[in-house]
Structure 1
Amino acid sequence: MKIKWLEWAQKLQAIAQNGLTYSENPFDIERYKQLRAIATEIMASYSNVEHSYVLDLFSRELGYATPKVDVRGAIFRDDTILLVKERVDGFWTLPGGWADVGESPSEAVVKEVYEESGYQARVIKLLAVYDRNKQGHPPLPFYIYKLFFHCELIGGSPSSSIETEEVGFFPEGALPELSLGRVTPAQINRLFQHYRQPDLPTDFD
């Protein structure tokens, strides 16, 4: 189910950001700043985040507004899936993170898997492209696409990192407490379906 206030704030912020990118008229620039202030007010009021933090976050976004891209690697072994425990919240997720400029999505997920788990992997298939807002995650200020890749291990060994403190494989019926901002139980269950039925087409919203 859509969170309407989040949808409003994200759309207003995108309009304001695009307007501030392309407008030269000082009156229009002031109007777009006011629009960004409204988006900030909505986000801060409903998310219980400090107004100044949200405004600073929005103000640092420059250029044409497009969705951010989060990549996640699904790695299976003996009917279990690889998860890493995040240091920031103490919960578990698929290895992954933001795709960086200069990396293809598959390059980004291979890098993230190695950095967060210690395992070397290669991408087999894109399993899903999801609109984060439609997946039941807690709200975030920005609009995000989530890309889930089926990967296979080709080397390495489990190790923690500056972002993760544990690495482990878990069966579908005994998952640890998940970091819901990053992955949901429904997504993990769907990835297991892809694992057991490799001919399934890529999911998308």
Structure 2
Amino acid sequence: MPKFHADQQARTRLDQARRLLAIAQTGLHYTTGAFDRERYEEIAAIAYSQIAELASMDTGKVAELFSFESGYANPKLDVRCAIFDEVGRILLVREAADGLWSIPGGWADVGLSPAANAAKEAREESGYTVHIERLLAVWDMNKHAHPPSAFHIWKLVFLGTTESAGAIVGSETDKVGFFSLQDLPSLSLGRILPEQIRRLAELYRAGGVDFD
């Protein structure tokens, strides 16, 4: 079987496993019967095993990740900020976890709007205080060539302009810089893809919003 087809098949199976887990999670939230709870827990255990296999993770680690998830199952929200300088270079931060580069961002925090989350992440990870100009993209990571993830993730990317520079806050990133689109460093592909950066640059220049 060609690798492309094998990859597509694995992505389909991973999506099915996440859907199965979402059904189990939602069922556990609403059920009041002991018998139903037992069956939903069994479905969740099957889904953990499938996700672990397809995402190359340990089953126990998958179960640990989802132990914090309760209630009606929803996609997780990753909010990021694209910042360009006057010559069109994009600001990237180096992730301390893997030594690879991404645009600043992370999980959305409760109590902040999406735009406020993007500005906060930019300041913490790059040191730059930014003004959020507009929304650039809303992407479903399932529809892009990211490495397999245990979670179903939606990515919101906002355009930001720098207002002032400062020091990196926290320990998630350890370096920051502006890079030309023709000379990008090694990217953290679970966070951002080269083709997504190129698309963001197009949207920055031409306007509009890209969405899945």
Query: What TM-score does the superposition give when structure 2 sets the normalisation length?
Result: 0.92
Q: Which amino acid aligns with 2:48?
A: T
Alignment pair present for 1:202 and 2:199: no
Q: Which runs of 5+ in 1 are unaligned?
A: none
Report the alpha carbon displacement of residue 111 of structure 1 after superposing the two structures with TM: 0.3
**Residue of structure 1 in register with 2:25 after alignment:** 17
Greater Cα offset, 67-76 or 52-61: 52-61
Name the SS of the counterpart of 2:156 in structure 1: strand
Q: Is the 8 A contact 1:72 1:147 kept in 2?
A: yes
Choose the corresponding residue for 2:71, options 55, 59, 63: 63
Give the CA deviation at 1:189.
Answer: 0.3
Runs (4+) of structure 1 moved beyond 6 Å?
A: none
- Mapping of residues 12-161 of structure 1, within 5 Å: 12-77=20-85, 78-157=87-166, 159=168, 161=170
Number of residue pairs matched by the alignment: 203
Q: Cα offset for 1:160? A: 6.5
Amino-acid identity (%): 48
Which amino acid letter does the alignment assign opposite residue 65 of structure 1? Answer: A
| Whole-angstrom CA distance in 2 between matches of 1:123 and 1:161 | 21
- Listed as ranges, the gaps of 5+ residues in structure 2 are 1-7
Distance in 2, Cα, partners of 1:152 & 1:158: 17
What secondary structure is seen at the aligned counterpart in 2 of 1:6? helix
Of the structure 1 ranges 93-102 and 58-67, higher mean CA displacement relative to structure 2 is found in 58-67
The 10-residue stretch of structure 1 (4-13 or 159-168) with the greater mean CA deviation from structure 2: 159-168
Task: Letter of the 1:106 partner, please give it.
Answer: A
**Following the alignment from structure 1 to structure 2, what is the Cα–Cα distance between the partners of residues 15 and 104?**
28
